[in-house]
Amino acid sequence: MINYKLVFTKVLTLVILFFTTATYAQQIAKYASNRIIAKFKAAVPAAPSNAKASGTGIASLDALNAKFSCSAIEKMLPEIQGTDALHMNNLAILHFSSDQNIPNLVNQYMSTGLFDYVEPDYIGSCDGVEGIDLVANDTYFNSRQWSMQNKGTFSDSPSKSGADIKMVPGWDITTGSANVIIGIIDTGTKLDHPEFSGRIWVNPNEIAGNGVDDDGNGYKDDTNGGWDFTNNDNSPADDNGHGTNVTGILGANGNNSSLYAGVNWKSKLIIVKALDAGGSGSYSNWIKGINYCIAAGARVINMSLGGNNSSQSLQDAITAAYQNQVVCVVAMGNDNTSTPEYPANCTNVLAVGATNSMDQRCNPFSGGSGGSNYGSNIKVCAPGNIIYGLRYNSNTSSSYYYSGTSQATPHAAGLASLLFSQNTSRTAETVMSIIENTADDQVGLSTEDKPGWDQYYGYGRINAYKALTYVATGIDRSAVVGCNSVKIYPNPFTSNLSIAYQLSKPADVKIEIADILGQRINIINKGTLQPDSYIDGWSANDFPSGIYFVTVILNNSEKQSYKVVKN
């Protein structure tokens, strides 16, 4: 919440990603989101020749095509005359009318028994590029957005390589969805800033300029952006600067060769002005703002604000949001104290503390003042010191930054919105749990950042990549206590996977294999084993290529999961 100056540079995105416990590295697969490639079995009656997705005459195929809105079956190759040993004329592209969960489609279509194989339509590139890396190409990404990608070269303060939220590999999984709505309750936003082009929420049920409350939500002509509860009008413009900075951290357009990249590049932004030009606002306006966002269909609400007094009405508004599957992400406060602030001390919120470019709790913030609050209510931390961003009175300014838990909060809110973008059926509880369970623990000073949850860092500093690759396989944050080590190799693998583990005490051992959807596909029950080294294996010859999760479980409680790739 402390205002300073700023810088920023061009960015890139090389995708070598590191997984949980070992030093294995692998490349994230890139593929089209609205089509798959499928090779029909030779015995299947020439279904690819039918360019329509409906009425193929194959009941199981027609049912799947209808379920997933398959719009066309495109034959990839013309009829091949003469002997075709590989039956390549049975190869087809299945097109879908909207983006799909491709790994799920692959599994669903393969399960029909109609195909030799089904696979994503992968995207590649030439192997030679002259002097340019690829990531977000926003002007100041590489030089100033250390919170997203820290190479240890940030010039404004000491920095440590890797002290960031791992946003670059996270973007290779998702950059957001236009179907997800995010509410920002703050001082407003510069609505016409080019970095928010196409992103500001438009009320679909309100007619502009007719002076009528068409949708019956209590606000007339709230067509563009949201509502200004401070001035009671339909123009939530920023007259302070804080809100524009926060909104930019969360949702500035990315990879557009301009200024900065937000965490989320696609979702719609509801702007609620509930703080005045001096940065102050009443709880009643905050509550109105929360209710407004709920009614508009928001899944995430960012609240980079706080007061010193407990309030049941504020808690009730937060509870209503939670019950409507909305994640409220709130700032811990900047006074370097355990004295609670609200709504950070309300239940059912994700309360966020702030870290600096050395992965340490901000104490003090840049400029020598305050510090990130701590206490029993903290859930996670995120970068919040010297966070450059957009300016409320300029479309081109890049020279201002803020520091505070206000800046940490939109990093976490942005991640919550990406998790909803990835799977809109997730609950608020699930999203908060994923963020907590995948946070990087013990990154800060050992005097504060203790193993597991602690009052200074919560569960740790958020990790976007871990969160976006998390599946519900019972992944535990801690290592397997009864194991000295677990090794999974080779990774990637082609047919057989080795699972080596060394028990430190007698234990009942079970190994579970899950697919990318978190569905168990294999269980290896070993029974009770004595302290020793064991090697087990999984033969995956009958399973398609893709991403899988191997979980070693001791005594039905201690768990550790590993991500593997079958080529």
Which distant-in-sequence residues (6+ apart) come within 8 Å of 128 by Cβ? none
Nearest to 390 by CA among 140, 148, 134, 177: 140
Nearest to 20 by CA among 563, 566, 565: 563
Q: What does DSSP assign to residue 330?
A: E
Strands 25-27 and 70-75, sheet pairing: unpaired
Instruction: Put residue 57 in one of left, alpha, beta given phi > 0 → left and psi -120 to 50 → alpha.
Output: left
> Are 495 and 564 contacting, i.e. CB atoms less than 8 angstroms apart?
no
- Stretch (H or E) spanning 523: strand 520-529
Point out the residues that are catalytic. Answer: 186, 242, 406
The CATH number given to 2-27+134-468 is: 3.40.50.200
Longest alpha-carbon distance in the chain = 82
The CATH number given to 33-122 is: 3.30.70
| 516: its two tokens | 């990318």
Distance CA 419, CA 431 (A): 7
> Are 321 and 347 contacting, i.e. CB atoms less than 8 angstroms apart?
no
The CA–CA distances, whole Å, from 327 to 69, 258, 272, 358, 461 equal: 30, 30, 16, 28, 18
Which distant-in-sequence residues (6+ apart) come within 8 Å of 138 by Cβ? 8, 10, 11, 145, 252, 254, 255, 256, 257, 258, 259, 260, 261
What's the pTM?
0.63
Low-confidence ranges of the chain (pLDDT < 70): 1-30, 45-54, 76-89, 122-138, 471-481, 484-485, 516-518
Q: Tens digits of per-residue pLDDT, 377-431?
A: 999 999 999 999 899 998 888 888 889 999 999 999 999 999 999 889 899 998 9
pLDDT of residue 51: 57
Task: Give me the numbers of helices (H) and strands (E) for the chain, helices first please.
Answer: 10, 23
pLDDT of residue 25: 25
The CA–CA distances, whole Å, from 214 to 115, 160, 291, 327, 365 equal: 52, 53, 18, 28, 46
Exposed e or buried b per residue across 63-72, where buried means at least 16 C-beta atoms within 10 angstroms of its C-beta? ebbeebebbb
> Are 250 and 183 contacting, i.e. CB atoms less than 8 angstroms apart?
no
Q: Which ranges of 260-386 would DSSP assign to H, the alpha helix? A: 283-296, 312-323
pLDDT of residue 43: 74
Q: Tens digits of per-residue pLDDT, 235-276?
A: 999 999 999 999 999 999 988 888 888 999 999 999 999 998
| 168: its two tokens | 């670059």
pLDDT of residue 130: 19
User: Which class would CATH give 483-566?
Assistant: mainly beta
pLDDT of residue 480: 61
Residues of the chain with CATH 3.30.70: 33-122
- Stretch (H or E) spanning 400: strand 400-403
pLDDT of residue 85: 47
Strands 226-228 and 268-273, sheet pairing: parallel
Residues of the chain with CATH 3.40.50.200: 2-27+134-468
Residues of the chain with CATH 2.60.40.1930: 483-566
Strands 115-122 and 31-40, sheet pairing: antiparallel
Q: What does DSSP assign to residue 59?
A: H
| 469: its two tokens | 């690759």
